[in-house]
Amino acid sequence: MQIKFEQVLMNKLSNRTVKKYTVVEFCKEANIDRTFFYQRYKNICDLFASIMALQLRRTIRSQDEERLNNIFFRLLQKIKANKIFLFNIILISKDARCYYEVLRKEIATGIENYLRRHGAFSVRQVELVADGIYAIIFNWVLQECKYDIKDIYQSIDLLLRTIEKTKKISKYNV
């Protein structure tokens, strides 16, 4: 069902800037009853957060021996390709705090899943790095991804390197 909802949102919100989008509009386009919608989501922002978390989870899954910085570069490419969709979600919501916890947690979980295969790590440091990555990406989307993807990537890569350094330090401290 979530994939169908994702397709409806992508079709509606990916082509041009949309300042308003309601549960009523979504339900009509998804061909569902509002009662069905409200059994699953609190409001339209809850739906948006759910769809963005799904997309993020899919994108930051590591593939075989892919390095962490490559995973996040792929994420930036996907964000840039969907910048209108993501910008619309932020614009419609008016209060992006509803996404912070959900998306920061997905970023942290993706980093943790990668690091688990490579040794010990600090959960608190992963959370701080996830906060930083979320802030960088959120602000980039707010600016409609106008800054070069390489500049954004370098900022994220610097944060990821702190985790790599910590991982090496903790290996020697054991």
**For the segment 122-158, what is each residue's pLDDT rounded down to a tens digit?**
999 999 999 999 999 999 999 999 999 999 999 999 9
| Geometric angle at alpha carbon 54, from 50 and 57, rounded to 5° | 135
Q: Which residues of the chain have pLDDT under 70?
A: 62-63, 165-174
Task: Output the pLDDT for position 95.
Answer: 79
Alpha carbons 171 and 135: distance in angstroms, whole number: 29
Task: Output the pLDDT for position 7.
Answer: 96
Task: Output the pLDDT for position 117.
Answer: 83
Task: Output the pLDDT for position 119.
Answer: 80
Write the pLDDT tens digit of every residue in 95-105.
Answer: 778 889 999 99
Task: Output the pLDDT for position 94.
Answer: 78
| Geometric angle at alpha carbon 108, from 103 and 113, rounded to 5° | 125
First to last CA, the chain: 47
Task: Output the pLDDT for position 173.
Answer: 47
Structure tokens at 9: 């949102």
Name the residue ranges covered by the structural domains of the chain. Answer: 2-173
In total, the chain counts a number of residues equal to: 174
Domain 2-173 fold is Tetracycline Repressor; domain 2 (1.10.357)
